[in-house]
Amino acid sequence: MTDKDIRDSLPFRPLSRRSLLKGLGAGAVFSATGNMPGFSGNAQAGQSINYMCWEGYNSPSILDPFQKSNDVAISVDLITDSAGGFAKLAAGAFRDFDLVSSDCPWIARMGPAGISRFINDADFAEQYAEFYPQFRAPFAPLQFEGKATGLPTRWGWVGPTVNTKFDKLETWKSYAPVFDPAYRDKICLLDWGDWPIMPLALYAGVDPYKKLDDKELEEIRKVIRAAFKNTRAIVADLATAQKGLIDGSFRCLIGGGTYCTSSLRNTGHDYIQSIVPEPRNGMKQGIIWMEATGLIANDRDPAIASKFLKYIVSPEVAVKLAITEATCNLVPNQKAEALFTAQQKSALQMDYMWTAWDNSHFHTIAPNIDDMLAIWQQELAAR
Amino acid sequence: MRIEHKSWRDPLLIGATVPLALIMILFFVVPLIMTGILTFQSSRYYRLAWTWDLTIWRDVFGHSHYWVVMLRTLGMSLACVVLSVLIAYPVAYGLATRLGSLRHHVTILITFAFLTDTVLKTFGWILVLDQNGVLNWGLSHLGFEPGAVNILFTPTATLIGMVYNLAVYPIFTLYLSLARIDRDLQLAAYDAGASRFRTFFEVTLPLSRPGLYAGAALVFVLSLGAFLEPKVMGGGNAPMASELINQSFSTRVNWPLGAALTLVLIVIGSASLALSAALTLRRRGGEQGRLSDVG
Amino acid sequence: MPSAIIEASRIIKDYGSFRALHSVSLEVGTGEFVALVGPSGCGKTTLLKIIAGFEEPTSGELKIAGSNMDGVPAAKRPVRMVFQRLALFPHKTVRDNIGFPLKLAKTEKVEADRRVRAMLDLMHLNPSYLGRYPAQLSGGEQQRVALARALVSRPGVLLLDEPMSALDVKLKKSLQAELKNLHRNLGTSFVLVTHDLEEAMMLADRICVMRSGRVLQVGTPSEIYYRPVDTFVASFIGDTNLFPVSIANGQGGSVAFSSPIIACDSAIAPKAQCSPTIEGDRASLLVRPEAMRFVEAGNAQPFATLNGKVEEFFIKGASIQFRIRVDGHPVPVVMDLPGTPNIPAAVGADVTIGFDRSDVFLLQE
C-alpha cells in the first residue's frame, strides 16, 4: 500500500465537535463510544494520562513505577478490538486520551487521520539505537510521508500452532492439513476479525494486503468455505483455544501464533510451537504482527505522554511487557534480550524469530478488509 | 381490581404519569429513533458517513445470510422457550407444593446459581461437555467408549447453555403463579371427582398461565439476545443474531449495519410476541378480560 | 334416627405432636341435617375434611353409606363439599363450574346441560348467568353456584364448611332459609360446619358441639338449648345466666340448691331438670334470659327472685334486653322481655326480677 493509497482511503479529518453535533445521531455516537475515561479521581496526582491499550500494557508492574516516579495518574481503557478502538477514537474520544497502544496498522493510520501526533524520530534516537536493526528509524510500517506515528512495542508471528505430541512440525510446513479430511473436526479458527482470513488467503495464493478484484475475493470465499469443513470451533477466547491445543481436540489454531503459544511454552508446555509455513508457489505464508504505541493528538502538552512512550520501550519495561500473565510476546528492543532468562527466551522462540520474519508478510490494513469480513459473515451463516 | 375512569385533564394524573413517560421516551424511544436514523447512513473505512440513503437496507434485504441467522435465532429461541418451560414447570410445582420446609433452602440454592456469573457458568459447561470432560469421563466409567458424547461446539450445546442460563426465569414466574393458586380449588376439583392428573390440567395449569406466559416471554426475549452460549458452547459454529450484530459493530465497525440488524431483531421479537399474544387471546375468547377482574 | 349414612367412630387426628381430634364419634342419618359447632380450633373443620377425604385420620374408622372409607380418595366418595371461600374455578364459566362434576363423570352432553339448567333453576339463578365468570357474580350468587356445583351430581351427603360466614346478615338469613328448604326438598344429608350456634339451631336437625378436639354434646337444638351438658355449651349460644349454687340431694331424687343472692321458698329442682353429670355439692343454675321477668309488689310471686339495679337496656327489635346488676354476682343478669314501646324500667332503677321453677336447669359447674 502506498502513501497515496492510505491518503485516499482516509478522505476525512476527525470531526469537529460542531460538525458532530450537526448530525442528529450525535447522541448515538457519543453513547456508542461508551465510557469515556474521566478526569476524576486524579486529584491526588499532579498530572493524569488516559491510556487506551491492549491487555498487558496495563500491568501494575509497568504502570505503578511510572506513576510513582512522575507523580502522574494513569487511567486505562482496555480494548479488545483494534478496529473498534480506532473507531472509538475517531468518533471523538481522541480528545480524552493521551496515549494509545494498538495494532501497528491502526497506529499507522492514526497519524494521517489526525488522531495521533507524528513523532520526530530524532527525539527517540536513543530508543531506536537499542532496537533490533529491523525496527530502527525510519521504521517503514509506522511511517507516513517520512513521519513516524509511534514506536513499535510488541511483536510476533502468525502461523500454525503445533502440539508436537500429536503432530510433527513437518506436517505443518504448509496449511494443507486444514483442508485434509483427516483433520475433520480438529481445526480451530480464532474469531479475531481478519486474523483467521489472512493465512487462508495466503494459502489460496491471494495476497490479502493488496487491492483485490472480484476473482480474488471469490478465491478467498472458496478457501474460507473449505476451511469451515474441518473446523471444530470458531473461538474468541484464548483460554478455550489453548485448552483445546493442549488436549489435542484442536490440532491447529488458525489466525494465531506466538500470541497463543508463548505463554503456554513459558509455563512448561514447551512441546507446543508456533511456526511459519514454507513459501507456497513463491508466496510467503507467514504474517508478522506488531503492536505500537502512539501519542494522541489532543490539545494537551504531550511531554508526559512522550516520556511514557520512551519508558514503555526501555529494556527493563520491555521485558515486563514481553512476559505477562496472559500472553508472552517479543519486543523490538535488542538490549532487552540479555535480560530474559533462558526459559523465557525459549518460550518466545527467539532462536526461530528471524526465520519467521524472513518468511512472512508484514500485517497491515487490507484495502478489502470489509469485503473479506462480509464474506466471512456470509459463509459462517451458511454453514 | 377496578379501574377508575379518570380524565386526562386531571392535573394529579398528569403529574403522576409525566415523569415515567419522560423516562420511557428518554431511555427507550429516543435511542430507538437514533438507531433507526443510523440505519440510513453508511460506513466508510471504519467511519460513520452521513449519507442518508438506503445502502444498508439494500444490503440487509439483498443478502440471505442475515436472514438465515435471524431465522436460526428465532428457532433456537423457540426451542429454548419450550425446553425451559418443560424443565421449569416441575421444579416450580415442586417448590410451590411439595418441598415444604425444604422450599426455602432450594429457593436460596436456585437464587445463588442464578446470581453466579453467567460467563463463569457457561465456561464451566465446557469442562463438562468436552470430549475429555466430566460427562464423558463419567460415561466411560459406565462402559461407554471414550468421547461418547461429542456435542460441545454444536447447536445442541448452545441450547443446553441457553436453557441452563434461562430456565430460572420461568421457575420464578411459575412459582409465583402456582403459589398464589388457592389450595381449595384443587381440593374442589378432587371433591368433584377429578384425579390428580385431571386436576392439574383442569385447574392448576390454566391458573398458572400468567406465570407460564411471563416466563416464556422472558426466556424468548433473552434467548433472542443470547451471545455467550452460541459463542462459547456453540463454538461459534452456528452464530445467532447477537453475534452477527456484534460482528457488524465491532469487527466490521459498520454501525449502520449493526443498527439495521438490531432493528430487524427487535421487529422479529416484537412481532413474535404480538402474534403469540393475539393467538392466545383469540383461542381463549374473552376469558382474558374476565380474569383481570378476579381478585 | 334413620339409618346412618356417615358413621365415624373413635376418630383421632394428630398433626405432629398436636392432637386435633380426640377419639371423636359421630353418626349422621340418611337425609339428616347435622351441624358441627364450636369455637375456632375445636376440630370441626378437621372432622369435615376427614369425611370429605382431604385428610386421613390417624386412627379410627369412617364409614359412608356402609363402606369403609379407608384409603378411598376424595374423588371416589359419595360426598360433595361447599368450601368456606367457595372455591369456584375463576377460569371457568358458571356453566362449566356447575357442570364440572358431570364432565368428570362423563355424563352425556345434553343430559349434563339439562341438569346444569335444572340446578340453576333450583338455585333461583337466571339462565343468562351460564356464560358468566364467578368474578362477575355477587357474593350471594356465587354462593348459589357453589351449592349448585356440589349438588349437581346428587351426592348422598353435602358437606358445608362455613359457607355463609363471609356474607352480610340479611343475605345470610335468606340463604339460610333457602338452605333449609333445599334440604327439605332434596332429602340429601347435610353436614354443616359453623361457629354460629344460632345458625346451627335454625338449620340443623341435630347439633354436635365440639371443643378442643372433643365432642361435648350431640342433640336436637332444643336439647342443646335447654339441656346443655355443661356451662360451656350453655353459654356458647349468646347470652345466658348461670348462677353458682350449693346443692344437696333432696327427697324423691330431686336436688335442693341454695344461693346467697337468690330468694327462694323451696329451692328444689326435679331430677329431670338436673344434668345427670352433676357431682359433688356445687353446681350452676341455668336460667335463659327470656325466662326472667320483673316482679312487682302485689302480683303473684315467682319461684325465685333476685334484687338488683338496672345497668342498661337495649331494644333488640322483637325484644328488649335488660342488664341488671345484682350484688354478689360478678356479671350482670340478662333478661329478655317481649318488645313494647313502654319501657318498664329506667336505667338506675332498683328492681326485683324472678323466674319459674320450670325454667331452671342445674348443670355441672
Partners of chain A (3+ Cβ pairs below 8 A): B
Chain C residues within an 8 Å CB radius of B203: 89
**What is the distance between the alpha carbons of residues C80 and B189, in angstroms, rounded to a whole number?**
10
Each residue's pLDDT tens digit, C310-328: 999 999 888 999 999 999 8
Give C-chain residues touching B291 at CB under 8 angstroms: 90-91, 133, 135
One domain, residues A150 and A196: no
pLDDT in tens, chain B (295 residues): 444 556 667 788 888 888 888 998 899 999 999 999 999 999 877 778 899 999 999 999 999 999 999 999 999 999 999 999 999 999 999 999 887 788 888 888 888 888 888 888 899 898 899 888 889 889 988 888 877 888 999 999 999 999 999 999 999 999 999 999 999 999 999 999 999 999 999 999 999 999 999 999 999 999 999 999 999 999 999 999 999 999 898 888 899 999 999 999 999 999 999 998 898 887 665 444 444 443 3
CA distance A257 to C323: 104
Tell me which chain B residues have a C-beta less than 8 angstroms from the C-beta of A23: 50
Q: What is the DSSP string of A263-316?
A: HHHHTT-TTEEE--PPPBTTB--EEEEEEEEEEB--SS--HHHHHHHHHHTSHH
Domain check: are A54 and A203 in the same one?
no
ipTM of the complex model: 0.85
pLDDT value of position B143? 87
Question: Among all residues of chain B, which has the CA nearest to that of A379?
Answer: B65
Chain C contacts in chain B segment 271-290 (CB below 8 A): 287, 290
Pairwise CA distance, residues A125 & A109, whole Å: 22
Predicted local confidence at residue A4, as pLDDT: 42
CA–CA separation, C55 and C72 (whole Å): 11
A246 and A315 together in one domain: no
Question: Residue A260: pLDDT above 90?
Answer: yes
- Do A89 and A235 reside in the same domain of the chain? no
Q: B160-207: per-residue pLDDT in tens?
A: 999 999 999 999 999 999 999 999 999 999 999 999 999 999 999 999
- What pLDDT, on a 0 to 100 scale, did the predictor assign at position B283? 67
Q: Is residue A358 part of a domain?
A: no
Name the burial class of residue C15, with classes exposed (0-12), middle (13-18) and buried (19+) by CB atoms within 10 angstroms of its CB.
Answer: exposed
B137: left (phi over 0), alpha (psi -120 to 50) or beta: alpha
- From A4-13, A24-33, A326-335, B152-161, the region with the lowest mean pLDDT: A24-33
Identify whether A35 is part of a domain. Answer: yes
All structural domains of chain B, each given as residue ranges with its CATH number in brackets, are 63-282 (1.10.3720.10)
Contact C87 B182 (CB under 8 A): yes
Task: Please tell me the predicted confidence (pLDDT) of residue B293.
Answer: 40
CATH code, domain carrying A203: 3.40.190.10
pTM: 0.83
The set of residues, in sequence order, having a beta carbon less than 8 Å from that of A290 and lying 6+ positions away, is A103, A104, A141, A152, A154, A155, A332, A362, A363
A and B: number of Cβ contacts within 8 A: 101
The nearest CA of chain B is from the CA of A378 a distance in Å of 5
Q: Are A229 and A293 in contact (CB under 8 A)?
A: no
- Provide the residue range defining the domain that includes A281: 3-14+157-287+364-382
User: Containing H/E element for A216?
Assistant: helix A214-230
- For residue B204, give how far its alpha carbon lies from the nearest alpha carbon of chain C (Å): 10
Which percentage of chain B shows pLDDT scores above 90?
62
Residue A189 and residue A282 in one domain: yes
Which carries the bigger pLDDT value, residue A43 or residue C158? C158
> For A261-273, how does the pLDDT look when each residue is reduced to its tens digit (9 = 90+)?
999 999 999 999 9
Residues in B closer than 8 angstroms to A193, CB to CB, are: 251
Q: How far is B199 from chain C (nearest CA, A)?
A: 10
- Give B-chain residues touching C52 at CB under 8 angstroms: 187, 191
* Chain A residue at shortest CA distance from B70: A381
Question: Span C102-128, mean pLDDT?
Answer: 95
Interchain contact, B185 vs C87, CB within 8 Å = yes
The residue behind cell 495476497 is A207
Please give the torsion angle defined by the CA atoms of residues B197, B202, B204 and B205, in that order, rounded to the nearest 10 degrees: 100
Closest CA in chain C for residue B208: C91
Q: Are A187 and A122 in a shared domain?
A: no
CA distance A368 to chain B (A): 10
Helix axes C94-104, C139-151, angle to 10 degrees: 20
**What are the chain A neighbours of B237 within 8 Å (beta carbons)?**
231, 233-234, 383
pLDDT at position A17 is 30
Contact flag C91-B185 (C-beta cutoff 8 Å): no
According to DSSP, residue C274 is labeled B
In a domain, A163, yes or no: yes
Answer yes or no: is pLDDT of C265 > 50: yes
Q: Kindly list the residues from chain A whose CB atom is less than 8 angstroms away from the CB atom of residue B250.
A: 81, 83-84
Tell me what the mean pLDDT of segment C196-211 comes to. 94
Number of structural domains in chain A: 2
Look at residue A357 and tell me if it is in a domain. Answer: no
Residues of B with CB under 8 A from a CB of A: 30-31, 34-35, 37-38, 41, 43-48, 50, 63, 65-66, 68-69, 123, 126, 130-132, 153, 231-232, 235-239, 244, 247-255
Contact B293 C52 (CB under 8 A): no
List chains adjacent to chain C, taking adjacency as at least 3 C-beta pairs closer than 8 Å: B
Q: Which residues of B touch C95 (CB under 8 A)?
A: none
| Lowest-confidence pick of A1-10, A227-236, A293-302, C150-159 | A1-10
Determine whether the interchain pair B190/C75 forms a contact, defined as Cβ–Cβ distance below 8 Å: yes
CA of B2, closest CA in chain C: separation in Å? 12
A73 and A132 in a single domain? The answer is yes
Same domain, yes or no: A372 and A267? yes
A14: nearest CA partner in chain B: B47
The answer to whether position A249 is within a domain reads yes
Kindly tell me whether chain A and chain B come into contact, counting contact as 3+ Cβ pairs under 8 Å. yes
Residues A147 and A176 in one domain: no
- The nearest CA of chain B is from the CA of C133 a distance in Å of 7
Judged by a CB distance cut-off of 8 A, whether residue B292 touches chain C is: no
Q: Which of B25, B48, B245 to mutate to test the interface with A (most CBs of A within 10 A)?
A: B48
Q: Are residues A130 and A42 in the same domain?
A: yes
For residues A328 and A252, state if they share a domain.
Answer: no
Residues of chain A with Cβ-Cβ distance to B75 below 8 Å are none
Q: What is the identity of the amino acid at C205? A: D
Cβ contact, residue pair B184, C85, below 8 Å? yes
Q: Do B253 and A240 touch (CB under 8 A)?
A: no
C-chain CB neighbours of B194 within 8 Å are: 75, 100, 104
Looking at the fold, whether A304 and A321 belong to one and the same domain comes out as yes
Interface test mutation site (partner A, options B47, B71, B128, B228, max chain A beta carbons within 10 A): B47
Side-chain half-sphere CA neighbours of B157 within 13 A: 30
Residue in chain B lying closest to A250 (CA): B131
CA pair distance A199, A181, nearest whole angstrom:
19
pLDDT in tens, B71-95: 999 999 999 999 999 999 999 999 9
CA distances from B5 to B13, B185, B282 (A): 11, 33, 27
Give first-to-last CA distance, chain C, whole Å: 31
Residue A347 lies in a domain: yes
Cβ neighbours of C81 in B, within 8 Å: 187-188, 191
